[in-house]
Amino acid sequence: MPVPKSQYMSEVWRDGLFDGKVVFCTGGSGTMCSFQVRAMVHLGANACIVGRSAEKTEAMARDIETARPGSRVIGVAADVRSISSMMAAVDKCVKELGSFDFAIIGAAGNFIASIEQLSANAFQNVMNIDLAGSFNTLKAALPHLLRSASSSSKSEGKKSGTSGRVIFISATIQYTGLPMQAHAGAAKAGVDALSATVAIEMGPRGMTSNVIAPGPIEGTEGMGKLSQHNNDTALEKTIPVGRFGTVRDIADAVIYLFSDAGSFVNGEVLVVDGGAWRTGKSGPGADLKYPDFLLSGERISRVDEKRVVPKL
Per-residue pLDDT of the chain (312 residues; tens, 9 = 90+): 688 888 888 889 999 999 999 999 999 999 999 999 999 999 999 999 999 999 999 999 999 999 999 999 999 999 999 999 999 999 999 999 999 999 999 999 999 999 999 999 999 999 999 999 999 999 999 999 999 998 765 554 444 458 999 999 999 999 999 999 999 999 999 999 999 999 999 999 999 999 999 998 987 876 665 555 545 677 788 899 999 999 999 999 999 999 999 999 999 999 999 999 998 766 777 667 777 878 887 777 645 545 554 444
Whether residue 284 is preceded by a cis peptide bond, meaning omega within 30 degrees of 0, is no
All domains in the chain, ordered by first residue: 5-296 (3.40.50.720)
Q: What is the 3-state secondary structure (H, E, C) of the chain?
A: CCCCHHHCCCCCCCCCCCCCCEEEEECCCCHHHHHHHHHHHHCCCEEEEEECCHHHHHHHHHHHHHHCCCCCEEEEECCCCCHHHHHHHHHHHHHHHCCCCEEEECCECCCCCCCCCCCHHHHHHHHHHHHHHHHHHHHHHHHHHHHHHHHHHHCCCCCCCCCCEEEEECCCCCCCCCCCCHHHHHHHHHHHHHHHHHHHHHHHHCCEEEEEEECCECCCHHHHHHCCCCCHHHHHCCCCCCCCECHHHHHHHHHHHHCHHHCCCCCCEEEECCCHHHCCCCCCCCCCCCCHHHHHCCCCCCCCCCCCCCEC
pLDDT of residue 309: 44
pLDDT of residue 258: 97
Contact between residue 80 and residue 107 where contact means Cβ atoms under 8 Å apart: yes
148 is catalytic: no
Residue 106: closest CA among 250, 248, 275, 249: 250
pLDDT of residue 158: 43
The active-site residue, picked from 188, 227, 259, 282, is 188
Q: What is the largest CA-CA distance in the chain?
A: 64
pLDDT of residue 292: 81
Contact between residue 222 and residue 195 where contact means Cβ atoms under 8 Å apart: no
pLDDT of residue 159: 46
pLDDT of residue 154: 54
pLDDT of residue 161: 52
Q: CA 15 to CA 124: how far, in whole Å? A: 43
CA separation, residue 31 to residues 37, 86, 126, 195, 224 (Å)? 10, 21, 19, 23, 11
pTM check: above 0.85? yes
pLDDT of residue 151: 79
92 is catalytic: no
The active-site residue, picked from 170, 195, 227, 282, is 170
pLDDT of residue 230: 46
